[in-house]
């Protein structure tokens, strides 16, 4: 693979690495807020997303060749708010960054770095999924459908594994006494 040294792609990789590192921290903060608000599923999704961002930042970091690189970038100086607001802000950031990754990939192609471009395109796909997931959770939480459905479904307690079929998850698990926020819709095979 050709050297990235001195290219705009090198700078873009460092900007992206910084963004992924910042996002990881934010998602960990947001997970704590969700847990405090008893939204255990959302907390877990924020933690999973934080871990995915860690792995992406590690992949990006491996492209860098050392030395000092000067970059100019703007980063969101956000706040830690309610889970509802954190989900909305996260979805907006994910959308913004999937677009940035597409631009970074185009620049990498232009600079003769197709391997880097392919990785950047794939990272954009990950961010598209993150955006979709955060929007879905934001909508469900806002509409009151995260723990309640129109038809009966199987709800599983994430703490003890208790399963119940109902339109709404129990306010308190009858098996382990954990709150409603520990329930999620049971998936068919995982």
Mean pLDDT, all residues of the chain: 95
Q: Is a pLDDT exceeding 80 seen at residue 83?
A: yes
Which residue do the tokens 């192609």 mark? 109
Helix pair angle (83-110, 8-36), 10° resolution: 170
Domains and CATH numbers, the chain: 8-143 (1.20.1260.10), 148-185 (2.20.28.10)
Average confidence (pLDDT) over 70-80: 85
Model confidence pLDDT, tens digit, residues 86-144: 999 999 999 999 999 999 999 999 999 999 999 999 999 999 999 999 999 999 999 99
Report the pLDDT value the prediction gives residue 185, as an integer from 0 to 100.
95
Spatial CA neighbour of 49 closest among 78, 14, 89 = 89
Predicted local confidence at residue 190, as pLDDT: 59
Q: What is the DSSP track for 117-140?
A: HHHHHHHHHHHHHHHHHHHHHHHH
Output the pTM of the full model: 0.93
Return the bridge partners of 183, or none: 157
């Amino acid at each position: 693979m050709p050297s990235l040294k001195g290219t705009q792609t090198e700078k873009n990789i460092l900007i992206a690495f910084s963004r992924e590192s910042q996002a990881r921290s934010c998602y960990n903060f947001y997970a704590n807020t969700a847990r405090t608000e008893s939204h255990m599923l959302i907390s877990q999704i924020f933690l999973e997303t934080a871990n995915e961002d860690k792995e992406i930042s590690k992949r990006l970091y491996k492209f860098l060749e050392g030395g000092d690189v000067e970059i100019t970038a703007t980063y969101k100086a956000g706040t830690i708010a309610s889970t509802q607001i954190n989900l909305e802000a996260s979805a907006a950031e994910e959308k913004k960054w999937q677009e940035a990754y597409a631009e970074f990939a185009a620049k990498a192609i232009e600079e003769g770095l197709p391997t880097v471009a392919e990785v950047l395109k794939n990272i954009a796909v990950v961010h598209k999924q993150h955006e979709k997931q955060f929007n879905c959770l934001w909508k469900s939480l806002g509409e009151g459908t995260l723990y309640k459905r129109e038809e009966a479904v199987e709800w599983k307690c994430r703490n003890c594994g208790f399963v119940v079929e109902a339109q709404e998850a129990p306010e308190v698990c009858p098996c382990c006494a954990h709150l409603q926020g520990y329930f999620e819709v049971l998936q068919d095979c995982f």
